[in-house]
Structure 1
Amino acid sequence: MGSKTLSPLQISPMRPSLSRRRVTSLLEQADIHIGGDRPWDIQVHDERFFRRVLVETSLGLGESYMEGWWDCDRLDEMVCRILRAGLLRQVRSWRDVLAYLQARLLNLQDRRRAFHVGEQHYDIGNDLYQAMLDRRLIYSCGYWKEADTLDAAQEAKLELICRKLDLQPGMRVLDIGCGWAGAARYMAERYGVEVHGVTVSRQQARYARDLCRDLPVTIELKDYREIRGHFDAGFSIGMFEHVGYKNYATYMEVVRRCLPPDGLFVLHTIGGNFTETHGNPWVTRYIFPNSMLPSIRQLGAAFEGRLIVEDWQNFGPDYDRTLMAWYVNFERAWPELRPRYGDRFYRMWRFYLLSFAGAFRARYLQLWQIVLSPQGRPRRYDAPR
């Protein structure tokens, strides 16, 4: 019999199996098995998962999870293993190229886009954050050095920042990205300072004003570039991730002009091990629009000629523990939250919390507290720990 030519329709079923072999091989480098019985192994429910991950990488991984194509009992540990094995550097997609080009050609964090993250993320519902966070609604890494609960870790973080700023009664303090004003209220009550906070979230601003109505705390709904006035000290907790590399120098100029020559500013931010110009495609689409993480190189360039670095502390592993505490709270509250948010949101939020926990556990992400001053302190600065 002669050879028979196969049509494209007959060939196409082979493609998923080729994709499956490629993904399986990659995951085995991280000791992750398809259909395995360990908590970090993946259970695939839809064969399209394999090709989608190869074509769309991180975006495809997150979206296919949201759509129920696969499951994993310990997403946090799975992501940790993927990052430790360096798998992200082995797979690139056109989505990654597009994200790079957009970030290079556009200022994704300009004034016009400044309020997008407030509308999409922080304004989705205070009930969610009240259920997930600590009692002060501090939405950033806790300091677990001597803490054994989420509330204690967040209070320890706030106290650490206050001590680094050397707060004294009567000082005027700037809070860039004040959130629900948990930090502003803490400082006003404990240290007798006046706090001026700014946020891009309407829900946060409304809540913060009510929370601090009897304290010397002012809350404004505005972009950091619009800040005017003079302050004795300042800080920013978990906001710098929304600034964007094209605006780092502008941000530092705002800090410089608002403080006296020897004033102190604490920058509390997530940082990345590698210099990038854009954020993770899945994170920027579903969680933090137009976000990206700074690198040491980018921050150094922004500081140069503008601010002096007095201290740089890294306690990134504490964010793993913080995120896992948030996840436990979220899971506990989900039966009450479910009617409003729905099952797709549940899978999205679960992927968000656990994948970030895994990234910090792998030391792929860091948490930096950097103490800055326009011209430096006249005497040696010994940072509290």
Structure 2
Amino acid sequence: MADAALRLTTLAEELLGVPLPVRLRAWDGSEAGPAGGPVLIVRERRALRRLLWKPGELGLARAWVAGEIDVEGDLYDVLDRLAEFIWERPEETRGALEAVRDPKLRAAAGALLRLAGPFPPPAPPAEEVRRRSGALHTRRRDRQAISHHYDVGNDFYELVLGPSMVYSCAYWTEGGTLEEAQRDKLDLIARKLDLKEGDRLLDVGCGWGSMAIHAAREYGARVVGITLSREQAVHARKRIAEEGLADRIEIRVQDYRDVKDGPYDAISSIGMAEHVGEVRYRGYADTLYALLRPGGRLLNHQISRRPAPDEDAYEIDEFIDAYVFPDGELAPMGRTLATLEDAGFEVRDVEAIREHYALTLRRWVANLESRWAEAVRMVSPGRARVWRLYMAASAVSFERNRIGVNQFLAVKTPEGGTSGVALRPRVWNESLQR
């Protein structure tokens, strides 16, 4: 079978109705498709079985994690070229790959099935989350989901994220470093919250403690940070002790629904709300509202997806759900804003920083790729491949405006209507100009 690449390209183009945008190299060493660009390598025939069994994003992800497909050249370029088939018209792609049911394309589909080899496909890679049961976003299920993603080793996260240990979108200026951009993001949030000496800050989903440390060290705040990840809590407490801030910061392994010691002057929720889910989001907003004093502020930093007609408000990504953030759900920013308002908040500012996240993700991918062998030893080859694909694909999604990230500044405005927000609130950006 010395022409597998040509046969595969021909069959795929017949089924999809358009030319393939990348060059293919098949398991027999043959190549076909446009020259001069990156090459998608199909190392094993069973990769086709995975794709035919689970058309679209999940089948491709399983083959990637298993090492059955790879890329020679620019991974971002490949993902950008394939975006139309993976994300932007997935129903058409899925329908074409399931064309065994369509008599008009039965011959091409049958040939592709024969090329793929005997069915069924192999079991999903070990890194895939096994099927879950029960209601979404119970305390127990949320703990399991958070553990799957965050308890893979603090050393691995430090390799990817760098010394800042900030796992959310940075805030960039021209020519800045990742560390500077993450510091600027933390400072931007502190300024939006108007933190002052002695203020009580609740950091929901505190990660490895970076926001808590910044707020206590730079602004004199007293901070409670909560996380469901025990590994994060251990690392955060160690950092806090080394900074000499143990008297100002408390780190708890606690669900946001179980926090009862309000009122707080301010609440930060940075990259956590994506885990809350549609069934709990109004309760999340109500809980944070109740925990704030009158006049207190919430800074909710959250990834969103683009709205589309005739779709549910929230959306689960197959690859992300199976390998990265189980049960994570994205909503359009308008839905988030409306829910915060329904809970009683006055939303005073929304800042969209989509391009900043693409830059952040590309830096994280560069960190991972530069220390690839070390990363593989820390976790597993499959887990490292999950992270490389997830971060690179996310960067492309931000760049193509499929998803965004927004900071909502909301106030628990007291009776009488005095919000405490400056007449020209964007002055918080002035300190970030260098």
**What's 2:306 paired with?**
273
Change (3 A) 1:345 1:68: same
RMSD: 2.6
CA contact (8 A) 1:128 1:337 kept: yes
Within 2, Cα distance between the matches of 1:22 and 1:188?
61
CA contact (8 A) 2:313 2:335 kept: no
Deviates more, 1:192-201 or 1:212-221: 212-221
AA partner of residue 321 (structure 1):
L
1:44 aligns with 2:81: no
**What's 1:34 paired with?**
24
**SS of aligned partner of 2:294:** coil
**What's 2:356 paired with?**
318
- CA shift, 1:209, in A, is 1.4
AA partner of residue 314 (structure 2):
T
Within 1, Cα distance between the matches of 2:150 and 2:216?
24
**SS of aligned partner of 1:91:** helix
1:256 aligns with 2:289: yes
CA contact (8 A) 1:164 1:266 kept: yes
Within 2, Cα distance between the matches of 1:129 and 1:37?
37
**What's 1:382 paired with?**
425
Within 1, Cα distance between the matches of 2:289 and 2:205?
17
- Map Cα deviations across residues 59-109 of structure 1 (whole Å, 9 max, x no partner): 10111112233222323233234436723353348xxxxxxxx99x96422
- Map Cα deviations across residues 243-297 of structure 1 (whole Å, 9 max, x no partner): 0011110110111111122211111111111355342122111111111112224
AA partner of residue 83 (structure 2):
L
1:119 aligns with 2:147: yes
Within 1, Cα distance between the matches of 2:358 and 2:14?
30
For residues 187-266 of structure 1, the aligned pairs below 5 Å read 187-213=215-241, 214-215=244-245, 216-228=248-260, 229-266=262-299
Change (3 A) 1:154 1:378: closer
- CA shift, 1:141, in A, is 0.7
Within 2, Cα distance between the matches of 1:40 and 1:81?
10
CA contact (8 A) 1:202 1:221 kept: yes
- CA shift, 1:332, in A, is 1.9
Could you tell me which runs of 5 or more consecutive residues in structure 2 were left unpaired when the two chains were aligned: 1-6, 26-33, 96-130, 430-434
AA partner of residue 210 (structure 2):
G
Within 2, Cα distance between the matches of 1:381 and 1:198?
32
Change (3 A) 1:262 1:22: farther
**What's 1:136 paired with?**
164
**What's 1:77 paired with?**
77
**What's 2:333 paired with?**
296
Within 2, Cα distance between the matches of 1:92 and 1:107?
28
With normalisation by structure 1, the TM-score equals 0.85
- CA shift, 1:50, in A, is 4.5
Q: Percent identity?
A: 31
AA partner of residue 236 (structure 2):
A
- Map Cα deviations across residues 98-124 of structure 1 (whole Å, 9 max, x no partner): xxxx99x96422212121133111111
Given the alignment, which residue of 363, 367, 372 partners 2:405? Answer: 367
CA contact (8 A) 1:320 1:357 kept: yes
